[in-house]
Chain A
Amino acid sequence: MSSLSPPAHKIWWKEPIERVEIMWIGICIVWGLLMTFMMPYWHVVGKQNLSNEAYRITPAYFQKKAQEVVDKHTVRVETDQKIPVVAPPVGSDVYLVARLWEWWPILELKKDQSYRLHISSMDWQHGFSLQPANINAQIMPGYDMVITVTPNKAGTYSVVCNEFCGIGHHKMVGKIYVKE
């Protein structure tokens, strides 16, 4: 009888299991446990983890906090749109606003220093995608996501949007400078 018919032995659950199957199941269990272990292990020894610190906020509140930092720490403006470049003190709270279709403002950080980066959306969902470091996170309206970032290489980074957010989605690119 093939797999298309009822099992030949009515009490099939008492048939012995094929040797290779038992071996393979054993391997799968060990591998699954190892993979389960890796995630908490990385929280202890790894340097790339999300804190999962997040707050429910309103877009208006987030915009206000971002404006305060911009007012205090803008060092220059760039492009025709006069986008402020913000160089916040090491260790401080930095705000990045996602809105149709820009990441605002431009940030200037120092290599090997940590900052509490807050990101939230003013409208639809957006995708924070830092290139070429390739760090990606889902950004939502109403949630302030806090990530403590520590840039490990100097250079000019771009923030691409990788959650579909309407017709201008592909124009939504921001910038982060990392200085030595």
Chain B
Amino acid sequence: MATNNEFRTCPDTGLLFHKPAETLMRLNAVVAVVFLMFGGIFGLLVGLTRWPAVHLLPADTFYLVLTSHGINVLIFWVIFFEVAVLYFCSSTLLRVRLATPRMAWLGFALMLIGAVTNNIAVLSGRSSVMMTSYVPMSAEPAFYLGLILFAVGALIACFVFLGTLVIARAEKTYEGSLPLVTFGALTAAIIAIFTIASGAIILIPTFLWSVGYISNIDPLMYRVIWWALGHSSQQINVAAHVAVWYAIAGVVFGAKPLSEKVSRTAFLMYILFLQLASAHHILVDPGVSSEWKIFNTSYAMYLAVMASMIHGLTVPGSIEAAQRKRGFNKGLFEWLRKAPWGNPTFSGMFLSLIIFGFIGGISGVVMGVEQINLIIHNTIYVPGHFHATVATGTTLAFMALTYWLVPILFRRKLMLAGLAKIQPYIFGLGMSGVALFMMGAGTLGVPRRHWDMAFSGATMPYDFPAAAYTLMGLAGASVVLAVIGGAIFILVVVLSVFFGKRLGDTEKSAVPMIAQPVTSYEGIGIGSIAIPGTLVLAMVFLASFVLYYFVNWKYLAQTWGLS
């Protein structure tokens, strides 16, 4: 049974922290940031090699570093941070002790051992197989083993989260239903369990194959199952960062959802409709029928897309409503103009939302169309797309949350606050550049995972048009900007955590760290429309979406006939 001295109340937010849970949150978050730093440095090296005028690394090092970049940021940074988020959303938000802290420690240890094992395998130079490790190309057994250990650790963390929810319910530490943010985290955890199961189904046989117990793994089967892991893991990220958006809207504005029903249903749709959307990674593979592809991309993907489009409306909608209620009720956009743009928690969250939706969301749906995928598959358009979704949407949302969490979890004042203020803009702008310019180069056919777009040493090299080189150069310059943004984040967090001014466990800071909740949204808006500004933004989004969608059909119609 938990005793009272295992808990502390944060003087600034009134949140109740279970100390063992708090330690684990801190640790997972700090380790996450370390992996982001690693991965970010590798990202810089990759970016500088793909910048044609710089072309930094030799080919073998480039592929090694690219493998490492993908795994460290996409898997280790994101998932370590998500574990911290899961513990926060369960133990802290529900004011309850964490279930089995010892198991949570075991999970953490396995994740760390797995991550280190995998990194050693990659850095040794014999596992440059990219994060997807498509068979029959093989890596060292330690490569797969590391990933498997990491996944087992993450699975334990999910069960600790679920266990904590059960305890909270049993001990009645909250009334009624779960908070929306916790509900979002719950959907992420459920998807994570599915994801890890798919991972086990494919990675365990691949590990056995790499040590010689299994003679053959079918490459198509590998891709179908691997993407059940690869795609749904992205859905964990979306569910988690949308939960973070809602959390930040609550923290900064005291916003509540416009209606609980809609927001919760949208989260639920992620679970119900996502999994087979992994089909959109296999749209141009041999041996898969069009019926299967269309069914699994349309029913599964468009309903999951719809869920994201709903959150894309309700998150800014709830911010607008809360702001209007606070008196910024004039015109269409007073609520947005008067938002705290100098607070990196808010600016990071809002940029994450905009870049995720406008760049990542639209491009993702377009390239997930069965036929349009023909003109995009495996070009550098694809990494362009997901640097808007996960490298900006998820990462920037987590960065934004971190700015708020550091003073609360570590009781330290944020250092270099002036730099922190501009960090989301630098990172957001840099990453948007990385995304858009790579997408542009992709439409001209520049391949992804490719050391030399000039094809040096090839018998019959292809000459890309000058515009492709220009776009890759601009992407390279954006890489530098994004890395500066990432470096500022790491600098601010590391300095604050270790050297920030202590805030003490009892004094309240001068600046409030959490907004008073808004209780009702009565009497706001223009006429009978409560959130006209968000409605306008949504219409702009829709128009861009429709336009871009049909432009791509037109591109497709101009190429060779295929049947």
Interface residues of A (CB under 8 A from B): 1-10, 12-13, 15-21, 23-25, 27-29, 31-32, 35-36, 38-40, 42-43, 46-52, 54, 56, 79-81, 83, 102, 114, 123-125, 127, 129-145, 147-152, 158, 160-167, 169-175
**How many Cβ-Cβ contacts under 8 Å join chain A to chain B?**
320
Q: How far is the CB of A118 from chain B (nearest CB, A)?
A: 10
Indicate with 1 or 0, residue by residue over B145-179, a CB within 8 angstroms of chain A CB atoms. Answer: 00000000000000000000000000000111111
Q: How far is the CB of A22 from chain B (nearest CB, A)?
A: 9
Size class of the B contact interface (CB-based, 8 Å):
35 or more
Cβ–Cβ contact A43 & B175, under 8 A: no
Q: How far is the CA of A5 from the CA of B257 in the complex (A)?
A: 11
Q: How far is the CA of A80 from the CA of B284 in the complex (A)?
A: 33
Interface residues of B (CB under 8 A from A): 59-60, 63, 93, 129-130, 134, 136-137, 174-181, 218-220, 223, 246-247, 249-251, 254-263, 282, 284-290, 294, 297-299, 302-303, 305-306, 309-310, 313-314, 317-318, 365, 369-371, 373-379, 443-445, 447-453, 455-462, 464-465, 515, 517-519, 528-531, 534-535, 538, 542, 545-546, 549, 553, 556-557, 559-563
Closest 6 CB pairs of A and B: A150-B561, A162-B447, A158-B462, A145-B286, A2-B250, A54-B286
Cβ–Cβ contact B371 & A49, under 8 A: yes
Chain B residues, Cβ within 8 Å of A23: 535
Known pairs A3-B263, A7-B256, A175-B460 / 17 extra A-B pairs, C-beta < 8 Å: A3-B256, A6-B179, A15-B260, A50-B371, A50-B563, A52-B288, A125-B136, A131-B464, A135-B374, A135-B559, A138-B282, A138-B378, A142-B219, A164-B130, A165-B137, A166-B137, A170-B456
Cβ–Cβ contact A35 & B298, under 8 A: yes
Q: How far is the CA of A25 from the CA of B515 in the complex (A)?
A: 29
Cβ–Cβ contact A48 & B175, under 8 A: no
Q: How far is the CB of A176 from chain B (nearest CB, A)?
A: 10
Cβ–Cβ contact B465 & A147, under 8 A: no
Q: How far is the CB of A152 from chain B (nearest CB, A)?
A: 6
Cβ–Cβ contact B553 & A135, under 8 A: no
Q: Pick the contact of B247: A3, A43, A137 (CB < 8 A).
A: A3
Q: How far is the CA of A39 from the CA of B549 in the complex (A)?
A: 12
Query: Can you list 20 residue pairs at the A/B interface with Cβ under 8 Å?
Result: A4-B179, A4-B251, A7-B256, A13-B261, A15-B259, A24-B309, A24-B310, A32-B305, A39-B370, A47-B562, A81-B459, A114-B561, A127-B447, A142-B220, A143-B220, A162-B448, A167-B63, A170-B450, A170-B457, A171-B455
Cβ–Cβ contact A160 & B371, under 8 A: no
Cβ–Cβ contact A47 & B286, under 8 A: no
Q: How far is the CB of B401 from chain A (nearest CB, A)?
A: 12
Q: Pick the contact of A148: B309, B461, B562 (CB < 8 A).
A: B562
Beyond A48-B374, A83-B459, whether A10 also contacts B175 by CB under 8 A is yes
Q: How far is the CB of B482 from chain A (nearest CB, A)?
A: 23
Cβ–Cβ contact A35 & B562, under 8 A: no
Q: How far is the CA of A46 from the CA of B260 in the complex (A)?
A: 43
Q: Pick the contact of A31: B181, B379, B546 (CB < 8 A).
A: B546
Q: How far is the CA of A145 from the CA of B452 in the complex (A)?
A: 27
Q: How far is the CB of A18 from chain B (nearest CB, A)?
A: 4
Cβ–Cβ contact B371 & A48, under 8 A: yes
Cβ–Cβ contact A4 & B250, under 8 A: yes
Chain A residues, Cβ within 8 Å of B306: 25, 28-29, 32
Chain B residues, Cβ within 8 Å of A35: 298, 302, 365, 369, 549
Q: How far is the CA of A134 from the CA of B559 in the complex (A)?
A: 8
Q: Pick the contact of A18: B289, B452, B531 (CB < 8 A).
A: B531
- Kindly report which residue of chain A lies nearest to residue B248, judged by CB atoms: A3
Q: How far is the CA of A49 from the CA of B178 in the complex (A)?
A: 47
Chain A residues, Cβ within 8 Å of B179: 3-7
Beyond A4-B181, A81-B459, A134-B443, whether A46 also contacts B257 by CB under 8 A is no
Cβ–Cβ contact A3 & B249, under 8 A: yes
Chain B residues, Cβ within 8 Å of A174: 460
Cβ–Cβ contact A136 & B256, under 8 A: no
Cβ–Cβ contact B560 & A149, under 8 A: yes
Cβ–Cβ contact B290 & A52, under 8 A: yes
Q: How far is the CA of A18 from the CA of B290 in the complex (A)?
A: 39
Q: How far is the CA of A31 from the CA of B371 in the complex (A)?
A: 18
Beyond A3-B255, A18-B317, whether A129 also contacts B378 by CB under 8 A is yes
Point out which of A17, A125, A174 has the most chain B C-beta atoms below 10 A from its C-beta. A125
Q: How far is the CB of B8 from chain A (nearest CB, A)?
A: 18
- Kindly report which residue of chain B lies nearest to residue A103, judged by CB atoms: B460
